[in-house]
A and B are shown apart, each in its own frame.
Chain A
């Protein structure tokens, strides 16, 4: 039995110049917010930008950006939903707030299906918003999108740093390109620089804890005006 989807992924991504996965070891560290702010920053710089929410069981990029859900346009495939200058693909476009309780092969199949049918077209940047940890989807991204570069989000938390250390160790073992560490929710001195040094990685910089983000959620223009967005714009590896 041959799975035809595997043969077409490279073709679907052929027009994408650069693919950056925003990853990190744990949930709640702001990966999705950073991924959305990065996509907005790229679009604001005039880059043709896509955002693929790969947190399949808990997609939130549409909420952060305020993008309406609803079936995407289809013609010879499905088109990302354009919102705030960013082409968004997410399971939430299809299922809205209905739970998607997926595991194992179901996660892999959903990733494969979306990779096989989504027409990203010509993009300068595709941001992958990764789920927490090193589970199915992280492994699938390494397998199906091997040219992906990784932006690793951490926080000042010792607990988070330990999970990020594991992520970095695996990325290094697999020879995956790491753009650098981004310290989110920065509040003072932390061990991020030491962690980066352990792996010969770059610290891209910090995004401060920003209480204005909550009120700006769902409003791309308000998001763009936050201190977090300004900090990210200054350090984004675009």
Chain B
């Protein structure tokens, strides 16, 4: 599953931040999962746990707090703001394509008002890190 590649990216970003900020322990990482990508939260949580570096003491007590971010789009031609439901609006192939590369929403989803594929994804695109909490040694 390619969720593991995304989880791996989250861990790499946290490790970089921990190094930059000289954190001795990473305690909590807020991970925002955009609904557009249709990533199963449980699968992603398991992936994070799997790719977490077992030999890095900074991660020994880390908690990954996942939250699902609803999709919000704005159509460029007509200005409509809407929240597409990928599962209901794209066929199975399209939904799977968007799962891999969320920008393929422009291939398989349309503005509900004017049917344009020219829209901005304002929120809920993919995986981002909202916040990293940790401690430094005194």
- Measuring CB to CB, which residues of chain A are less than 8 angstroms from any residue of chain B? 1-8, 11, 71, 74-78, 91, 94-95, 98-103, 105-107, 109-110, 113-114, 116-117, 119
Contact = CB atoms under 8 A, between A and B. Distances in A.
A4 B6 contact: yes
B115 interface: no
Query: Considering residues A100, A107, A119, which has the most beta carbons from chain B within 10 angstroms of its beta carbon?
Result: A100
A105 B16 CA distance: 24
B126 interface: yes
Given A4-B127, A95-B104, A71 B96 contact: yes
Contacts, number: 107
A77 B5 contact: yes
Which of under 10, 10 to 19, 20 to 34, or 35 or more describes the interface residues of B? 35 or more
Interface of B: 1-2, 4-6, 8-10, 12-13, 15-17, 32, 94, 96-97, 100-104, 106-108, 117-118, 120-121, 125-130, 132
Secondary structure of the B side of the interface?
A: helix
Nearest to B132: A2
B108 A4 contact: no
B104 A1 contact: no
A14 to B, nearest CB: 12
B106 A106 contact: yes
B29 to A, nearest CB: 10
A78 B100 contact: yes
A11 to B, nearest CB: 6
7 contacts: A2-B129, A3-B13, A8-B13, A101-B117, A109-B125, A110-B101, A116-B9
Cβ-closest 9 pairs across A and B: A77-B5, A7-B13, A7-B12, A4-B13, A8-B9, A2-B129, A4-B9, A110-B103, A117-B5
A107 B106 CA distance: 11
Contacts of A117: 2, 5-6, 100
Given A2-B128, A91-B104, A78 B13 contact: no
A8 B108 CA distance: 28
